[in-house]
Amino acid sequence: MFKPLPMDDPWHRQPDISLARDALGWSPSTPLDEGLMRTAQHFRRVIEALQVRNAQSPQAMA
């Protein structure tokens, strides 16, 4: 279900990872472009799997 974004919803998010860095000693190790590419590939596979599943469902064959 899609709903309109709230008026105060930021268009550009820039998370602050300082808490993770300070508390856990964590910092990102994947470059942004690689992470975006891997994320896009993941969602393409998810969508493809859903399309295959829906094509095989009894309702789709009726």
**Encoded amino acid at 29, one letter:** S
pLDDT in tens, 3-14: 888 888 888 888
Residue with tokens 């268009």: 11
Give the single-character DSSP code of 30.
S
Task: Give the pLDDT mean for 20-38.
Answer: 95
Residue with tokens 């470059």: 31
Q: Is 27 in contact with 17 (CB distance < 8 Å)?
A: yes
The alpha helices in the chain, defined as continuous H runs, are: 18-24, 32-56, 58-61
What is the pLDDT, as a whole number, of residue 58? 72
pLDDT-derived band at 60, boundaries 50, 70, 90: low
What is the pLDDT, as a whole number, of residue 61? 53
pLDDT in tens, 31-47: 999 999 999 999 999 99
